[in-house]
Amino acid sequence: MKFDTSIALYKEAEDHIVGGVNSPSRAYKGVGGGTPVFMEHAKGAHFWDVDGNRYIDYLGAYGPIITGHAHPHIAEAISAAAYNGVLYGTPTKLENKFAKMLKEAIPSLEKVRFVNSGTEAVMTTIRVARAYTDRTKVIKFSGCYHGHSDLVLVAAGSGPATLGTPDSAGIPTSIAEEVITVPFNDVEAFRQAIRIHGEDVAAVLVEPIVGNFGIVEPKPGFLQAVNDIAHDAGSLVIYDEVITAFRFTYGSAQEIVGVQPDMTAMGKIIGGGLPIGAYGGRVDIMEQVAPLGPAYQAGTMSGNPASISAGIACLEVLQQDGTYDYLDSLGAMLEDGINKHASTYGLPVQINRLKGALTVYFTDGEVENYDQADATDGEMFSRFFHLMLQEGINLAPSKFEAWFLTIAHTEEDITATLQAVEKVFSIMAK
């Protein structure tokens, strides 16, 4: 495969755009370097790059793409919105419709507010929790990524971890001191953190099913214990469902784990590929938000008709019968095939999968927390990533990320992917 045009464009990008990319996880630093491929168009489960190479896509734009690229129903909705005016700065009927759809799918959302990114959604839930509790500290779990606002960029997952900068420069220590980090899936560590800081903890922030050091499910009872212990201490529980909302079921991860948080932050899938975020929760908490309450949050682009139309269209597609069973069946086929080839070639592979999302770790052990994910073999992953790219399989360039399936993937795509995996494993085993 030739990447000449991508290489030339990346050189040009480096002259104009810092690091040549508009989000650090798009650079290939986490996989030993290389030139990020410049994609030109995408349809369904496939990408075509500027050199004319075709790929099967498992990046899914880091999670938002679940219907496949350029899904006609979503494309029509965006196009209609474009011709109807993309931004009014006034309320619209569409926002009511979408808010109702979200509330119906996720019952803990008694009231919602639309924003423009997952970062904004999480950042605001923390502000609201602080306003509600009149406390300042936040407990988060190591390796969980909650966007790039100051407070949560401490021991954050895939992007910063890949770059080896778990704590960003430019964040005052006074802010970092407001964050307590404990290992995911470790009830005792959490209990201890609450014992020490409980009276100051406004909220506990957690990805109920982790997506940012790979797909990691909570151990049975873990999230219920987090809820109980936090509530006993007067702290709120915020679920960051930016990846998980509508990824595993038509609704949220809270439905899967059977525990309800006080507030939820969302993004990614609910925008159908356009920029969006949303947060919501208990009405008495949400009423802290301006114009009703003292916690200020605003946005010129918030609830814009284009993003909302794309989001409605995306959820309409996901409502079709069998969506999540289909994703599950493709995911199982992929998981089984990769495991089979790994054992044939004697490679240490561990797959964590839920429905249509999975992470392939190079390790002999289980991955239940960030330290275990961090200890997996990054060099093997880098080799795997680059060889798979050569075979026309587009993965996220980081050992901490998930593969995301879409309803546009077919069994033929999975078969082709598994052929590539077999070839790549045979090279890696030499």
Site string for ligand PLP, 119-138 (x = CB under 6 A): x--x----------------
User: Residue 109, Cα to own-chain centre: how many angstroms?
Assistant: 20
Whole-number Å distance between alpha carbons of 129 and 131 = 5
Active site annotation includes 62: no
Backbone dihedral angles phi then psi of residue 347, each to the nearest 5 degrees: -100, 140
Tokens of 36: 């990020």
Query: Parallel, antiparallel, or unpaired: how do β-strands 393-394 and 54-57 relate?
Result: parallel
Q: Which of 49, 57, 240, 262 is catalytic?
A: 240
| Residues in CB range of 248: below 8 A, 6 or more apart | 209, 256, 324, 354, 355, 356, 357
Query: Which of 267, 281 has the CB closer to ligand PLP?
Result: 267
Q: Which of 30, 44, 147, 208 binds ligand PLP (CB under 6 A)?
A: 147
Stretch that binds ligand PLP, among 134-142, 167-175, 204-212, 297-305 (CB under 6 A): 204-212
Q: How many residues form the binding site for ligand PLP (CB under 6 A)?
A: 15
Q: Is 240 helix (H, G, I), strand (E, B) or coil?
A: strand
Q: Which of 143, 211, 261, 356 binds ligand PLP (CB under 6 A)?
A: 211
Active site annotation includes 268: yes
Residues 266-325 that bind ligand PLP (CB under 6 A): 267
Stretch that binds ligand PLP, among 4-12, 116-124, 294-302, 356-364 (CB under 6 A): 116-124
- Residues composing the chain: 430
Is 118 among the residues that bind ligand PLP (CB under 6 A)? Answer: yes
Whole-number Å distance between alpha carbons of 99 and 112 = 7
Residues 60-89 that bind ligand PLP (CB under 6 A): 62
Q: Which of 217, 240, 368, 413 binds ligand PLP (CB under 6 A)?
A: 240
Active site annotation includes 58: no
Give least dist CB 101 to ligand PLP, A.
20
Q: Is 166 helix (H, G, I), strand (E, B) or coil?
A: coil
Backbone dihedral angles phi then psi of residue 240, each to the nearest 5 degrees: -90, 100
Give least dist CB 247 to ligand PLP, A.
11
Buried/exposed code over 398-410 (b: 16+ C-beta within 10 A; e: otherwise) = bbbbbbbbbbbbe
Stretch that binds ligand PLP, among 80-88, 131-139, 141-149, 310-318 (CB under 6 A): 141-149
Give least dist CB 344 to ligand PLP, A.
33
Q: Which of 53, 124, 185, 212 binds ligand PLP (CB under 6 A)?
A: 212
Closest CA to 27 of 163, 127, 120: 163
- Measured between its terminal Cα atoms, the distance across the chain in Å is 22
Site string for ligand PLP, 347-386 (x = CB under 6 A): ----------------------------------------
- Residue 39's beta-bridge partner residues? 49
Contact 109, 121 (CB under 8 A): no
Contact 317, 67 (CB under 8 A): yes
Is 398 among the residues that bind ligand PLP (CB under 6 A)? Answer: no
Q: Where do contacts with ligand PLP occur on this chain (CB under 6 A)?
A: 62, 117-119, 122, 145-147, 207, 211-212, 240, 242-243, 267
Query: Any idea which residues carry the catalytic annotation?
Result: 145, 240, 268
